[in-house]
Amino acid sequence: MCSGRAYVRNVSYCELALSFFPLATIRHKFCANDPEVFVQAAMLAQDYCDAIDLNLGCPQMIAKRGHYGAFLQEEWDLLQRMILLANEKLSVPITCKIRVFPEIDKTVKYAQMLEKAGCQLLTVHGRTKEQKGPLAGVASWEHIQAVRKAVSIPVFANGNIQCLSDVEECIRKTGVHGVMSAEGNLHNPALFEGRNPLVWEMAEEYLEIVQKYPCPLSYVRAHLFKLWHHTLQVYQQLREELAKVKTLEGIADVNRELKLRCQEEIANQKEGEKPKEGLPFFHWICQPYIRPGPKERCKENGISGTEKGVRGKRALEDEEDRSSELLSKNKQKKKLRNPNKSFDPSLKPKYAKCDQCGNPKGNKCVFNMCRGCCKKRAFKETADCPGHGLLFKTKYEKSLLWQSSQREIQNPEISWRGEVDVGETTLTEGGC
């Protein structure tokens, strides 16, 4: 959904980069924390792409739990081994995407380490791993500029890209070879063309692509929530319909209804009328969405900054949970799927914690651990845990019995010859 010389990665949230490369190229992005596993997976994909990209920029909680993305940025030895092995085994280049450290000097050394290990193209997101969601703030182009000057490989910038003029300004200020955009491109897929089309036109084009290249409906719904963000603030009923629809044809019907409502609004528009809510364009035109910070969120919810300090997103959601009428949009969707579901924290079951990691432990675990920790210990000690269905000891003993029986099957003549020898000896002695 973009034209010109564009660098396109096949990632679910459609990051695009305007670059100086003459042809479009494809990178497969991987999350990993083990050199051998990373390279084995990459080898399966290398024949279908132009490069392998190691994701060192994901700041989400799932990346923290899985120990990958931006949560590896302090483990330089591990990252070196991953990139070195990838360079040795793969037939395509290895690239990386990172987030910055608060200190520019440390960020520069980090980039230089990756370059020395064999990274051949580096994308720098000018935010730290803590800058996400309502705390995203502004990306630091100063960090990106410092990295660009310190390394000899191509550098792409990421962060603060909402329109084409931002792309041009970023290249001018940082000197990078290309620019990527995620959020900005999701809200306006024509960002790199310098256009602001009508939201239903972009949706029609997107749905045509989905029909040609099918994907899970949840992906489609997520993209359209971004694309229609401003319009769905006006037509809340369409938001609910989009959340409940179960087929691609149903989504197309929602798009047609959205188009009719917007066209009716345009027809009734008064001369000289300006966009509401401080938007640069009317809501039916593709445009950026600026995330409100914690202070703005508090104002929206009628909470003063002096009221026990400024509270974050999670605290506000917890407050909403106490009222059955004020649920977050995500919880409203869960309520639609399961009307009997309750979000009252007092009704949540209490779990005993694993002695090792703090996750809920198995009620019948012999080690008083969660399944993950129990599996590691049972494997190490060759023990059983019936509560988790882990039978390392039992299987080991069975394997020994099987090996013993196989040896007897393969060499039956040994025991037979032994009996004959004894018999012959007895006969000889009797003859004497």
Question: What is the three-class DSSP state of 284?
Answer: coil
Q: Long-range contact list for 231-239, CB < 8 A, 24+ apart?
A: 231/199, 231/258, 231/262, 231/283, 231/284, 233/277, 233/283, 234/283, 235/261, 239/329
C-alpha 397/C-alpha 83 separation (Å) is 40
Are 107 and 101 a contacting pair, CB within 8 Å? yes
CA 26 vs CA 23, 74, 88, 182, 264: distances in Å: 10, 28, 21, 16, 41
The pairing of beta strand 178-181 with beta strand 16-19 = antiparallel
Are 52 and 27 a contacting pair, CB within 8 Å? yes
Helical segments of 14-125, H only: 35-45, 61-66, 76-89, 104-117
- CA 227-123-131 angle, 5° bins: 65
Are 287 and 188 a contacting pair, CB within 8 Å? yes
- Length of the chain as a residue count: 432
Catalytic residue among 14, 58, 354, 365: 58
CA 405 vs CA 189, 392, 395, 399: distances in Å: 66, 20, 15, 10
Element (H, E) at 95: strand 94-99
Q: Which of 128, 132, 154 is nearest to 27 (CA)?
A: 154
Q: Annotated catalytic, 58?
A: yes
C-alpha 252/C-alpha 263 separation (Å) is 16
Are 25 and 51 a contacting pair, CB within 8 Å? yes
Residues annotated as catalytic are 58
